[in-house]
Structure 1
Amino acid sequence: MKIKLVKRKNPQNKAEEKHYASPVNAGRKTMRDIAQDVAGRSSLTRGDIENVIFNFLDRLPAYLTDGFSVQLGELGTLRLSLSSKGSADEKTFDVETIKPHVVLTPGVEFKDKLRKISYERVKEKKEEKKPNP
Structure 2
Amino acid sequence: MSVQYKVTERINPTDLTLPKKFYARINNGDDVSFDELVDLISKVSNLNYGTVVGAIGTLIEVIEMQLIHGRKVRLSNLGTLFLTLSSQGTDTQEEFRSGNINGARIRFRPGPRLQKLIKKLEYEKVSLASNTTPAA
Higher relative contact order (CA 8 A, sep 6+): 2
Runs of 4+ in 1 over 4 A off after TM superposition: none
Aligned to 2:8: 6
Quick check: 1:98 aligned with 2:102? yes
Quick check: 1:80 aligned with 2:83? yes
In 2, the alpha carbon distance for the partners of 1:76 and 1:91 equals 36
Q: Please, what TM-score do these two structures have when normalized by structure 1?
A: 0.83
What runs of 5+ residues in structure 1 fail to find an aligned partner?
A: 128-133
Q: Please, what TM-score do these two structures have when normalized by structure 2?
A: 0.82
Q: 1:8 to 1:94 in 2, by over 3 A?
A: farther
In 1, the alpha carbon distance for the partners of 2:84 and 2:65 equals 14
Q: Which residue of the other structure, out of 120, 124, 128, is the alignment partner of 1:120?
A: 124
Deviates more, 1:76-85 or 1:7-16: 7-16
What runs of 5+ residues in structure 2 fail to find an aligned partner?
A: none
Q: Secondary structure at the match of 2:127?
A: coil
Q: CA RMSD in A?
A: 2.1
Q: Which residue of the other structure, out of 100, 108, 111, is the alignment partner of 1:107?
A: 111
